[in-house]
Amino acid sequence: MPPFNDPDICRDILDGLQIGVSVLDLQHKIVFWSDGAERVTGYSRMDVLGHSCAENILQHCNHISCEMCTDGCPISSALHDAKPIEAVTFIHHKSGHRAQVHTWAIPLRDKHGSIIGIIQTFEGDFALAGPGPDDHSMRERGCLDDTTGLPNEAMMQAHLRELLGTFAELQISFGVVCLEVSDLDKFRARYGQVATRSILQVLARTLRNTVWPTDFVGRWSEERFLVILSGCHEDALRLISQRILSMTANATIQWWGEELSVAISIAGTVALAGDTVASLLLRAQQGLRGNQVAASGHALAATASTSTNSKT
């Protein structure tokens, strides 16, 4: 038998790919899961084979909402239209954060041309962008937050000053979104420092995966994160704020049989003429307290509260 007709050789080829490859039957149950799929999603074969993708494994979210296996998901669309579908979506990583992936859903046909399932490929951020080359240098210089690995307050201050200078000279707009974890001290008191560190890391990674690579995400204080959105106007700020809220509200960790989450508040504003770092941040942080959606020049705010859910 020619070597490339050997099923084990074909499987080795698929497992050698850096992208994830999965195969689902017509009931959306997973029947094949490659090594790349394990790397991108965090789920092993033992976790997923024989299970439906709806079981918190391949939850597909677009840039605005987070829906699980609706008619708009790539797999359902590919089956309905009987043709390959390409999309950029978010999946729920096993560790709890949301990860952006570039995915193809391709109908799988038998020798008679009948559709018998779906091949799905997905390429994660590690393959699209890779790690930042300056991360080690930034950490050595004390520019990164120890818990999350994000730029710290000093780095965010410097970046804001740079963008405000560019805005004053060239009128290149930008926005900021402030995200606050509510009752973090109560969460720490109940679950401990390790769980608190884990939920902050999940939130940080979700934030980084939710915005574009050209945007800047950092840890501002113990309970606050800051997102700086390059080239962002107020209309876009509203949409991006809702996207961030949707993604972070679904960030969870598994902790001794429980699925833990935290309450999140976000507020955002765009840069205005005459702004300083202090005035810009004051406007956004006032939105956190006011929880009002206001007109231009004021903060846009929203709140999500996702309670701790026991899975036992």
Domain of 164: which CATH number?
A: 3.30.70.270
User: What phi, psi does 79 have (nearest 5°)?
Assistant: -70, -40
Rounded average pLDDT over 157-168: 93
pLDDT at 295: 29
**Degrees to nearest 5, angle at CA 121 with 203 and 240:** 35
Long-range pairs for 52-58: beta carbons < 8 A, 24 or more residues apart: 52/27, 52/28, 53/24, 53/28, 53/29, 54/28, 56/92, 57/30, 57/92, 58/22, 58/91, 58/120
* The pLDDT of residue 141: 73
Specify the pLDDT at position 292: 32
- Report which of residues 116 and 13 the model is more confident about: 116
Return the pLDDT at 1.
Answer: 53
Given pLDDT bands bounded at 50, 70 and 90, which one contains residue 125?
Answer: low
Q: Are 273 and 222 in the same domain?
A: yes
Look at residue 43 and tell me whether its pLDDT is greater than 90: no
Q: Is the pLDDT of residue 262 over 80?
A: yes
Place of tokens 């096993």: 94
Same domain for 269 and 170: yes
pLDDT tens column, 69-112: 555 678 888 888 888 888 877 777 777 777 778 888 899 998 88
Label residue 265 by pLDDT band (50, 70, 90): very high
Q: What is the pLDDT of residue 142?
A: 81
- 275 Cβ contact partners less than 8 Å away, ≥ 6 residues apart: 164, 167
163 shares its domain with 271: yes
Domain of residue 62 covers: 3-128
* Banded pLDDT at 36 (limits 50, 70, 90): confident
Highest mean pLDDT among 178-187, 254-263, 290-299: 178-187
**175 and 122 part of one domain:** no
Rounded distance between C-alpha atoms, residue 18 and residue 12, angstroms: 12
Do residues 192 and 274 share a domain?
yes
Tell whether 161 and 13 lie within a shared domain: no
CATH of the domain at 119: 3.30.450.20
First to last CA, the chain: 51
CA gap 17, 258 in Å, rounded? 34
pLDDT of residue 198: 93
Q: Are 199 and 187 in contact (CB under 8 A)?
A: yes
Nearest to 266 by CA among 299, 296, 232, 301: 301
Q: Which amino acid is at 60?
A: H
Same-domain pairing of 94 and 140: no
Residue scoring higher pLDDT (97 or 284): 284
Q: Which of 128, 153, 182 is the last residue of a domain?
A: 128
Contact 118, 24 (CB under 8 A): yes
- CA gap 43, 48 in Å, rounded: 7
Q: What's the pLDDT at 68?
A: 41
220 versus 100: the higher-pLDDT residue is 220
Q: What residues pair up with 160 in beta bridges, in sequence order?
A: none
In the listed set 128, 143, 176, which residue is the last one of a domain according to the structure?
Answer: 128
End residue of a domain, out of 128, 154, 181: 128
pLDDT confidence tier of residue 224, bands split at 50, 70 and 90 = very high
Given a cut of 60, whether residue 132 has pLDDT beyond it is: no
Q: What is the pLDDT of residue 247?
A: 85
Q: Are residues 154 and 173 in the same domain?
A: yes
Give pLDDT, residue 27.
87
Closest by CA to 93, choosing from 6, 204, 206, is 206
Given this model, what pLDDT does residue 143 score? 87
Q: Average pLDDT, stretch 228-232?
A: 92
Q: Residue 99's closest CA among 66, 74, 70?
A: 66
User: Which H or E run contains 177?
Assistant: strand 174-181
Domain identity same for 142 and 117: no
Overall number of domains in the chain? 2
At residue 249 the predicted structure's pLDDT band, cuts being 50, 70 and 90, is: confident
Q: 166 pLDDT exceeds 80?
A: yes
Are residues 14 and 124 both part of a single domain? yes
Top pLDDT among 96 and 256 is at: 256
Query: Over 90: is that where the pLDDT of 16 sits?
Result: no
Residues 164 and 298 in one domain: yes
Looking at the fold, whether 79 and 109 belong to one and the same domain comes out as yes
**Which pLDDT band, with edges at 50, 70 and 90, does 173 fall under?**
very high
- Measured in whole angstroms, the distance separating CA 52 from the mean position of its chain's CA atoms is 22
Cα(194)–Cα(48) distance, integer angstroms = 27
Handedness of CA 36, 41, 45, 50 (dihedral sign): negative
Least confident of 5-19, 98-112, 188-202, 289-303: 289-303
Q: Mean pLDDT over residues 127-149, rounded?
A: 67
Q: Which of 20-34, 96-110, 183-197 has the lowest mean pLDDT?
A: 96-110
**164-179 mean pLDDT:** 93
